[in-house]
Copies of this chain bind each other. A is one copy, B any other.
């Protein structure tokens, strides 16, 4: 009888998830004769045995579809009363499923590792739109997000130039500034602000003013996780009515009025938000995701439980859950400095 494996997608959605699913089902089916089901809504589907069949006809044409046909959630396999390895083993046995492919970020890898140690056959595909997993050069979704953010910079630039304004664009990146760094380089930003690298408001304003003095319109790209030094930040959260209160809106909406106030240059904020993570994946992400999907079907065939796939150079390699969890990948200081020299 054909072996049967279950796939789940967990955490925030990301362009390329469907291409991973398609790659795994096509190669696993064609080469190894495996069958696949999908667990619905992440770990929820695994814990409650809520599945859908995944055959070739279901995954047709999926590589250019954003999001995930399986649904996703932030549910964890240990955190719910019905969760835990013993229950999951029963579910898998009842459904005749021989192993699990978990596609997700840090939380998913962490839960997968624990399930593996608790005796579940499980392998993983790394997923982070922020590109903050050190064990892989890139992950799918990141490229699409950078392309979208770059197009936004291109668009904002023409408005900035026409009105002689400073434009501030906020992009994703809570703990790592990769999207800001890459889109900022691609879009020719005059300042790129990321969580890893503190910059003072004075410095930002100096760059903005220098650009303006050359007769150009300043473009600032800021990752959502960037923070100004405390005093400056505090100032910005004092509302019009004089009450301090939790900051509403993003960092771009904090920065813009501060820049305008200090430099005298009219400044506008744009928060890109959710449009960075949805829609048609870039070709780059589809290729990477398809390769991850095909490679994970090899891991399953090899019973390489406890492993994940990763990109190194142009090759797909195998890593352990521990390697995936070892270090968050932040923008190194030297790489930031390399670009910072041409700010302003």
Question: Which positions in A face B, CB cutoff 8 Å?
Answer: 9, 12-13, 15, 17, 22, 26-27, 30-31, 41, 56-57, 60-68, 71-73, 137-138, 143, 146-152, 154-159, 161-164, 167, 182-183, 185-188, 214, 216, 239-241, 243, 245-246, 248-249, 253, 268-275, 277-280, 282-284, 286-287, 290-291, 294, 312-314, 338-339, 341-342
Let me know if A279 and B151 touch, CB within 8 A: yes
Bound Cα distance from A149 to B214, whole angstroms: 33
Distance A183 CA – B290 CA, assembled complex (angstroms): 12
Q: Which of B63, B158, B183 contacts A13 (CB 8 A)?
A: B158
Cα–Cα, bound, A147→B67 (Å): 19
Interchain nearest-CB distance for A317 vs B (Å): 11
Cβ-defined contact, A30 with B187, below 8 A: no
CB-CB under 8 A for A147 and B284, given A71-B164, A240-B245 = yes
Task: Collect the chain B residues with CB atoms within 8 Å of residue A186's CB.
Answer: 63-64, 283-284, 286-287, 290
Shortest Cβ distance from residue A274 to the other chain B in the assembled complex, whole angstroms: 5
How far is A143 from B143 in the complex, measured between Cα atoms in Å?
A: 11
> Which residue of A149, A158, A162 has the most chain B CB atoms within 10 A of its CB atom?
A162
How far is it, in angstroms, between the C-alpha of A150 and the C-alpha of B188 when the chains are bound? 25
Q: Is the CB of B67 within 8 A of A183?
A: no
